[in-house]
Amino acid sequence: MTRPRSSGGAAGSEPKVRIAATLIPGDGIGPEITASVRAILSALGDPFEWDVQPAGLSAVASHGDPLPPATLDSIRRTKLALKGPLTTPVGGGFKSVNVELRREFELFANLRPAVTLIPGQRYENIDIVLVRENLDGYYAAFEHYLPVGDDPKAVAFSAGFNTRAGCERIIRFAFDYAVAHGRRKVTIVHKANILKALTGIFLDAARRIAPHYEGRVAMDDRIVDACAMQLVLNPWQFDVIVTTNLFGDILSDLIAGLIGGLGLAPGANIGTQAAIFEAVHGSAPDIAGKGQANPVAILFAAALMLDHTAHGEEATRLRHAIRETVVGQGVRTRDLGGSATTEAMTKAILARI
Ligand code: NAI
Ligand code: MG
């Protein structure tokens, strides 16, 4: 669902019509890395007209609400957002804003491409795209406790669900992505040997849909635990992976590890009504405010957003400048074994645009 350029064919000195987009700086390192994105996109002739909106823990502090109505209204209007990481309280507290946004805008597909940037690491030449179902599974589970005796939380229940329609939609998305991007194979990842209903419905859907792509995209399947091991032993056998929500969450972090960590992994949440781009990593409270955050993951997310809005040329220039900086010049933040600050990295990338 690539949206057309809205530059309106402006010629000469006529100002370009920019695409309205929501920017959520977010929590922790979010403001630092989104500032980097804005500076670098500016140098590329930023095609986006940003509407900056709060969300997450910082929005609780400023607006008394982790997802203020104005933020939702903004995304409803723009249908396009770049989102910094949002802190989610563990155990209790407010519900994950990330999950709320996915649900509100029916962002059913989570696309997480992982491509080797830095050569000479533990794994060379990784190029895997993980497609994760983003709405159902255990993320849509009815969770509750049952009391026994005087223990109010003696038993914990979770009833997740997957729908046939939801499975078919995400599997079609993965195959269509494979066709559009010249990929050879889609691997279906499930646990249909144990969760026979919950993930059996997913495998069934894949077996029905894959034949429609015969001759164009191959299909195979793996049980999730075996897949985790094989991703470590021989990741090169994988091309596009499509899986259910929780397995996708876990495997995408594993795959990010294959390319040198979370600081390099972008993600896109794509739906029928909107698309929200983000880094795979979280708000990194341990390094927030210290100028150590790696902006590359969210810059790659911005590149996906440029691709999505038919600004492939700017996306290519952005990726090239990042590669030149990180690989060519060896300018790297601490997570990549370097000592550059977020600002130094940003300046170095700017110099290459
Ligand atoms: P995290 O991804 O924030 O941090 C894990 C480790 O990676 C930390 O040591 C951190 O310093 C490092 N790291 C992450 N991003 C980095 C970057 N750009 N540059 C350098 N180092 C980086 O995961 P964690 O600690 O489990 O979660 C922290 C908070 O973030 C939690 O509240 C969690 O719920 C939230 N979170 C939000 C996400 C989102 O908004 N999409 C995704 C994942 C977690
Ligand atoms: Mg995760």
What CATH number does the domain containing 308 carry? 3.40.718.10
Ligand 1 interacting residues, C-beta cut-off 6 A: 29, 85-88, 98, 262-263, 278, 281-287, 293-294, 297, 333, 335
> Which ligand is located closest to the Cα atom of residue 284?
1
Exposed, middle or buried: residue 273 (CB in 10 Å: 0-12, 13-18, 19+)? exposed
Regarding whether 226 and 152 lie in a shared domain, the answer is: yes
- Look at the chain and report how many structural domains it folds into: 2
Judge if 14 and 100 occupy the same domain: yes
Answer with the one of 209, 234, 261 that is the final residue of a domain: 261
98 and 230 both lie in a single domain: no
Which of 94, 107, 281 for mutating ligand 1's site (highest number of atoms within 8 Å of CB)?
281
Pair (133, 247) in one structural domain: yes
Q: Could you read off the pLDDT of 210-227 as tens digits, one per residue?
A: 999 999 999 999 999 999
Q: Which of 213, 230, 261 is the last residue of a domain?
A: 261
Are residues 100 and 202 part of one domain?
no
Residue 349 lies in domain? 1-105+273-353
Catalytic residues: 139, 191, 225, 249
- Verify that 156 and 122 share a domain, yes or no: yes
Q: Do 211 and 298 sit in the same domain of this protein?
A: no
Mean pLDDT of 20-34: 98
Question: CA 27, CA 62: separation in Å to the nearest integer?
Answer: 12
Given the CA of residue 89, which atom of ligand 1 is nearest to it? 32
Q: What is the pLDDT of residues 118-134, one digit of tens each?
A: 998 899 999 999 999 99
Q: Flag whether the pTM goes above 0.85.
A: yes
Structure tokens at 276: 């929200």
Where would I find the beta strands (DSSP E) of the chain? 19-24, 48-52, 80-83, 109-115, 127-133, 137-148, 151-161, 185-190, 218-223, 240-243, 266-270, 275-279
73-112: pLDDT as tens digits: 999 999 999 999 999 877 667 788 998 999 999 999 999 9
Per-residue pLDDT band for 116 (boundaries 50, 70, 90) equals very high
* Final residue belonging to a domain, choices 232, 261, 290: 261
Tokens of 287: 């390094």
Rounded distance between C-alpha atoms, residue 229 and residue 226, angstroms: 5
Question: Ligand nearest 249 Cα, by number?
Answer: 2
Domain co-membership, 9 together with 71: yes
Whether residues 239 and 333 share a domain: the answer is: no
267 occurs within a structural domain: no
